[in-house]
């Protein structure tokens, strides 16, 4: 049952992404890296825990959706947050939400493209994109400072060796969390 829900969700995500890729040049932005599917809160909690977020650190959520990862990081770990969101509609709602919560001093929501983001200030980067999208982000992730952590929900970063991989079950669906740690550059 759990395996089948995971498969169904993966097919749904993949088919939305495929549709976007197939028709992207005609109807949608080809830089759309993934559909608007939020990470369940229990998975967010485990992602931030495994990232060992410290007070004052800066967490980037690429494709921040409703901002839940950054809001949790600010509230629970006293971290700063930067969210990059391509959809204007989602960006406007999330920026308004962050402001209404009084967190706009800690969380910056940017209407922009994750593929053109300078990640050098990031201590932690969170991702919930398809593996093929993560692949496109690798040149940016390669510039992270040693000690930075990347936490990816459900989709691995090909060619990178995770420090940890574990499962979190939410509403009967199994989610996989990948933790990557940036080693000193050689």
Ligand X SMILES: C[S@@+](CC[C@H](N)C(=O)[O-])C[C@H]1O[C@@H](n2cnc3c(N)ncnc32)[C@H](O)[C@@H]1O
Binding site for ligand X (CB under 6 A): 31-39, 61, 63-65, 68-69, 84-87, 90, 113-115, 128, 153
Residue 58 forms beta bridges with which residues? 80
Closer residue to ligand X (CB): 104 or 110: 110
Provide, rounded to whole angstroms, the least separation between the CB of residue 90 and ligand X.
5
Provide, rounded to whole angstroms, the least separation between the CB of residue 2 and ligand X.
20
Provide, rounded to whole angstroms, the least separation between the CB of residue 172 and ligand X.
19
By the 8 A CB rule, do 151 and 50 touch?
A: yes
Provide, rounded to whole angstroms, the least separation between the CB of residue 29 and ligand X.
7
Closer residue to ligand X (CB): 75 or 183: 75
> From edge to edge, which strands make up the β-sheet containing 173-181?
107-111, 80-85, 58-62, 124-127, 149-153, 173-181, 164-170
Closer residue to ligand X (CB): 33 or 95: 33
Tokens of 138: 């690798």
What SS3 class is residue 74? helix
Closer residue to ligand X (CB): 33 or 150: 33
* Helix (H) / strand (E) containing 82: strand 80-85
Provide, rounded to whole angstroms, the least separation between the CB of residue 130 and ligand X.
9
**Interior/surface letters 84-96, b for 16+ CB within 10 angstroms, e for the rest:** bbbeeebbebbbe
Q: CB nearest ligand X: which residue? A: 63
CA distance linking residue 156 with residue 179, whole number of Å:
9
Closer residue to ligand X (CB): 38 or 147: 38
């Amino acid at each position: 049952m759990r395996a089948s829900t995971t498969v169904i969700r993966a097919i749904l995500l993949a088919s939305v992404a495929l549709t976007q890729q197939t028709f992207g040049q005609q109807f949608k932005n080809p830089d759309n890296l993934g559909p608007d599917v939020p990470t369940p809160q229990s998975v967010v909690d485990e992602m931030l825990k495994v990232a060992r977020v410290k007070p004052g650190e800066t967490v980037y959520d690429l494709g921040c959706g409703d901002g839940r990862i950054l809001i949790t990081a600010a509230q629970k770990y006293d971290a700063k947050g930067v969210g990059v969101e391509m959809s204007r509609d989602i960006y406007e709602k999330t920026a308004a939400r962050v402001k209404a919560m009084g967190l706009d001093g800690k969380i910056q929501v940017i209407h922009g493209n994750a593929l053109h983001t300078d990640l050098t200030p990031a201590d932690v980067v969170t991702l919930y994109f398809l593996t093929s999208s993560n692949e496109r982000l690798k040149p940016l992730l390669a510039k992270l400072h040693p000690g930075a952590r990347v936490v990816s929900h459900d989709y691995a970063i090909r060619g990178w060796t995770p420090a940890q991989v574990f499962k979190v079950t939410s509403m009967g669906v199994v989610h996989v969390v990948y933790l990557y740690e940036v080693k000193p550059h050689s």
